[in-house]
Amino acid sequence: MSQVTYGKTAEEIDKSRLGGRLAPQAPDPAGKVIRPGPPALPASLRLSAGPHSAFAGYGSPAHAGSRHASPSVRQDIAFRLQVSQVIYIKTSAEIDKIRRSSRLASQTLDHVGKVIRPGMTTERLDRIIHDFMKSHGAVPATLGYKGYPASSCISINETVVHGIPGSRVIRDGDIVKVDVTTILDGYFGDTCRTFRIGSVPENAASLASAAYECMMLGIGTVRNGSAVGDIGEAIQDYAEGLGYSVVRDFVGHGVGKQFHEAPNVPHFGKRGKGPKLRDGMVFTVEPMINEGCWQVNVLADGWTAVTADGKLSAQFEHTVLVDGQGAEILTLSS
Ligand SMILES: [Co+2]
């Protein structure tokens, strides 16, 4: 009942579409200063509200049945963190622990792929996820995090991220984003997949494939000496070339010792911009790709983000380690 294939790998995508993006980078004239990306993007995945927010002056939502969160509600959104500016270079001992936690996170999603089915509530699936992590010696990182009430985020169709598991029933034809983060031996592993339930409409299946391909293209730029902006440009070019849009309000993030660390990893941007990547950095690449506009609204629960136009959204996420001439994906399916 889950996905058959996720999509093409970076290598399988027609290189002619890439416009040479994967070629070695010219040095960044901005210099070697390691600093996080745009200050408006906390590594928490969530923009804070305020005059410089992407929401400033943003019109009323088109999404039927949702309530546009007020600025004060947005200000309280969790996953909004004060994150250290420092990008940690992990030791090999730490990397071992992050690797083990990340492997368990991906095994959790492998398990989800076996049990997810139409008729199941998201609450039920969350319980299964919780029990799986616990029985493997891990703690679900989201549970109690800034008041978040569940062990996973389960976001169906028009829900972009941070869907709170509850009474909503998973139905045939849905695309279901399941995002899990494990804490194992004190270290975090973070991964998300879009599961296709039963017979999924062609537009939804294509979107899910594109989100996977975007993630892999972004990861494909990662190497010692490349820049965070390389990831964003690769993703944005590909997604927009297919007529999709890239969510701006949530970004990837450093991960490992903490849930959310520097750097921010926007899924849009310009090659060569942003912090330079160095061996031993660990972060997520987790593009949210929308069928329609990129804008999102946050519901009154303060968490659930939905597309502003009610159209579909898909996401994949890997935790990756910068490793010499490439990236090691730590959350591969086993
Ligand atoms: Co993440």
- Give the pLDDT confidence score for residue 6 in this predicted structure: 76
The order of strands in the sheet holding 296-298 is 159-161, 305-307, 296-298
pLDDT along the chain (334 residues), means of 10: 58 51 32 28 34 27 32 34 75 98 98 98 98 98 97 98 98 98 98 98 98 98 98 98 98 96 97 97 98 98 98 98 96 90
DSSP 163-205: PPPSSPBP-TT-EEEEEEEEEETTEEEEEEEEEE-SS--HHHH
Residue 3 lies in a domain: no
Residue 21 lies in a domain: no
Ligand 1 center to 190 CA (angstroms) = 5
Ligand 1 center to 204 CA (angstroms) = 22
Ligand 1 center to 66 CA (angstroms) = 24
The CB-side HSE value for 213 (13 A sphere, CA atoms) comes to 24
- Give the pLDDT confidence score for residue 43 in this predicted structure: 29
Ligand 1 center to 252 CA (angstroms) = 6
Residue 201 lies in a domain: yes
Q: Which two structure tokens, joined as six digits, stand for 312?
A: 């579909």
- Give the pLDDT confidence score for residue 7 in this predicted structure: 78
Tell me how many domains the chain contains.
1
Provide the residue range defining the domain that includes 92. 34-329
Ligand 1 center to 16 CA (angstroms) = 30
Q: What is the residue whose two structure tokens read 């409409």?
A: 201
CATH number for position 185:
3.90.230.10
Ligand 1 center to 213 CA (angstroms) = 17
Ligand 1 center to 251 CA (angstroms) = 8
- Give the pLDDT confidence score for residue 256 in this predicted structure: 96
Residue 130 lies in a domain: yes
Ligand 1 center to 91 CA (angstroms) = 21
Q: Which residues pair with 322 in a beta bridge?
A: 327
Residue 334 lies in a domain: no
Exposure string for 126-152, b = 16+ CB within 10 A, e = fewer: bebbbebbeeeebbbbbbeebebebbb
Ligand 1 center to 310 CA (angstroms) = 23
Residue 5 lies in a domain: no
- Give the pLDDT confidence score for residue 8 in this predicted structure: 77
